[in-house]
Amino acid sequence: MLLEVFLVLGTLLIYFLFSKKDEETLPFKDGWWGRGQKPVTKEDSSIRPFKVETAEEELSDLFRRLDQARFTEPLENSFFHYGTNSVHLRKVVSYWKNQFNWKKQVEVLNNYPQFKTKIQGIDIHFVHVKPPCLPEGQAAKPLLMVHGWPGSFYEFYKIIPLLTDPASHGLGDEHIFEVICPSIPGYGFSEAPHKKDFNSVSAASVFYELMLRLGFSEFYTQGGDCGWLICTNLAQIAPSHVKGLHLNMVLVTKLGLSHLLSILLGRYFPGLFGFQDEDVRRMFPFLKKWLHKILSEFGYAHIQTTKPDTVGCGLNDSPVGLAAYILEKFSSWTDMEFQNLEDGGLERKFSLDDLLTNIMIYWVSGCIVSSMRFYKENLQKGIGTQKHDKLTVQVPTGIAAFPNEILHIPQAWAKKKYTNIVSFHFMPRGGHFAAFEEPELLAKDILQFVDKVEKEQLWKKKGE
């Protein structure tokens, strides 16, 4: 009898060790997000050139609102701890009215080719930049780059030339990219969904359809913030089409016993949980570097997950309110220590022109409400409850962990979700808006990741 038990156990062990199980993919979400009922006629799939344009009436209305702004006196020595400090906000508004040249920034935005195409009932805006030249016999690698909130496609303007023309920037010419930067539906110049339930899987499905429409059957993806989740979902939907997934932010949506034990004991026994010294430095003390940050920095997410339209309506009506709401994120999420400065450290990493250009994209498009709704659509059913939360990612994955990201996720945690991590690097500096803040660092990490995937042909080994 004992022999039979061992034989059964041995057979089961061999089965689990050597049997191959097809990894479940995430279903493509074929929705209709346009107004009214889906028409019976075939959707227009044409790709139309687009340019940013602003009427004089819109600018006159903006300046009138800026002139009539009401400011609240900040508390003494409060700096940015209570949010955007109105002393500095006055200076930003003064620059906005008297020195900022939106027409010049429109020219900057229109320097790269932009297009619109209708997918699932709504117009999708995207920037599409091809390499200025290619070495003979070499093809450009398609790269889909997805922004987050409260950012926009403009975040990628400084990294685009480093990827489409790396040789001219001292980064070699072995890997040259054709970059596609769409605006998430409801952000920037992409039409907002007219129906409920447009979430990250919906966006991933739309962008997958966009890439196929552009003629790309295989491509790389890159994202942070909301772009992290959209690109992750895209890799789950179409693992045979996504050659590699590069992320500059990762979050864990399902915590188990191993996570809890590593939180309690990882500081003292890091090796036992796969933590490196840098993981320990960034994560502990856990109450301060995780729980305190969640309580102090994620109030906005609770508002946007529950009643986004309430605060959104006010922001959509006030350019100064909109600026205060967005600038606070560019301060804290770039470096939490910037909260100790009266100017929020905003111009230590960004120019006012760049910050105001991003804000103007939200203002002239009137997209702040629809962009905030994206949180509700993704989180209203709970964290870790969706199908994509329960599926792993088999696609070759590269992670650039920037030191000032709001929450640090160690590789030991990330690999439970991303089972094929081929590159995980602790970046030397930078925060949440990596492409905007440290374009060269991010470009180098993308290049080394793609180099590894290509040389080892890792995309062909997915699931092996």
Q: CA separation (Å) from 38 to 25, 66, 120, 219?
A: 27, 41, 9, 30
C-alpha–C-alpha distance, residues 27 and 137, integer Å: 37
Q: Which residues are catalytic?
A: 225, 375, 432
| 8 A C-beta contact, residue 52 and residue 311 | no
Q: What are phi and psi of 142, to 5 degrees?
A: -65, 135
Residue 177 identity (one-letter amino acid): F
> What letter does residue 194 receive in the DSSP assignment?
S
- DSSP string covering 335-366, please? -GGGGGSTTTTHHHHS-HHHHHHHHHHHHHHT
Please choose, from the candidates 182, 155, 159, 163, the residue with its C-alpha nearest in 3D space to the C-alpha of residue 354. 155
C-alpha–C-alpha distance, residues 147 and 156, integer Å: 8
Residue 228 identity (one-letter amino acid): W
Structure tokens at 253: 């949506």
C-alpha–C-alpha distance, residues 164 and 114, integer Å: 16
C-alpha–C-alpha distance, residues 410 and 250, integer Å: 9
C-alpha–C-alpha distance, residues 431 and 67, integer Å: 33
Structure tokens at 401: 């962990």
Residue 95, Cβ density class (10 Å: 0-12 exposed, 13-18 middle, ≥19 buried): middle
93-99 contacts: CB < 8 A, separation 24 or more?
93/66, 93/69, 93/320, 93/323, 95/352, 95/356, 96/66, 96/319, 96/323, 96/356, 97/63, 97/66, 97/67
C-alpha–C-alpha distance, residues 354 and 334, integer Å: 14
How far is C-alpha 173 from the chain's CA centre? 26
How do beta strands 219-223 and 242-247 pair?
Answer: parallel
> What letter does residue 287 receive in the DSSP assignment?
I
Please report which residue ranges of 53-186 form alpha helices under DSSP H: 56-67, 86-98, 102-109, 160-164
